[in-house]
Amino acid sequence: MQNNLAGLLTDSGDPAGGLAMHQEVFMARRRALGEPHADVAQSLMNIATAESALGRVPDAIRDVEAARRMYQTVHGDEHHDVTLATMMLARYQLSAGQLQQAETNARTALAAYDKRQDEPDERGATEFLLARIEWALGQHEVALTRARASLAQARQHGGSGFEPELIEAWLAERDGASPQP
């Protein structure tokens, strides 16, 4: 319950309050469950979300890396939680300007989604993330093609954070780019 409240605080504009509460949940889970444990890793992911919202991206990167290692230990490399952590790591690395690492992690996550053929919304969100990374790397045509493909996926499988309108707006901001069906 406290974890849900912490998430609501972060999402509603009080990331500092959310972070403090997420840290309390993390400490309680770590004491009760020990490490490594998937719930402890999830707490680290939640902490990273609040840290990112506060502009503390290096801290978010550190915590997602720790969560991913924990997920790998608990579940193995092929698990959904590892893939999601890898995608989130790429997102934070893009924010920090760590473009090569972001590209590597986004491609790793995308390959994992392709292999499992599940979570089409997360797969599409990862493809759009990779498009933004490619754009930042100067690979504009590749990025636009990938973003248009992710737009088609968003129209079919979009979810929270992967709405077609977000991709359309991104495409509209790019030189000569416009959304295509």
What gap in Å lies between CA 55 and CA 64, rounded to an integer? 15
CATH class of the domain comprising 1-76: mainly alpha
pLDDT, tens only, 55-114: 999 999 999 999 999 999 999 999 999 999 999 999 999 999 999 999 999 999 999 999
* pLDDT classification of 180: cutoffs 50, 70, 90: very low
Helix/strand/coil for 40: helix
- Assess whether pLDDT exceeds 60 at residue 164: yes
Q: What is the pLDDT of residue 175?
A: 63
What mean pLDDT value characterizes the chain? 93
- The model's pTM is 0.91
Q: How many CA atoms lie within 13 A of 153 on its CB side?
A: 20
Q: What is the pLDDT of residue 118?
A: 82
- Assess whether pLDDT exceeds 80 at residue 177: no
Q: What is the pLDDT of residue 4?
A: 84
- Write down the H helix ranges in 78-119: 80-95, 99-116
Are 97 and 84 spatial neighbours (Cβ–Cβ below 8 Å)?
no
pLDDT, tens only, 119-142: 888 999 999 999 999 999 999 999
32-46: average pLDDT: 97
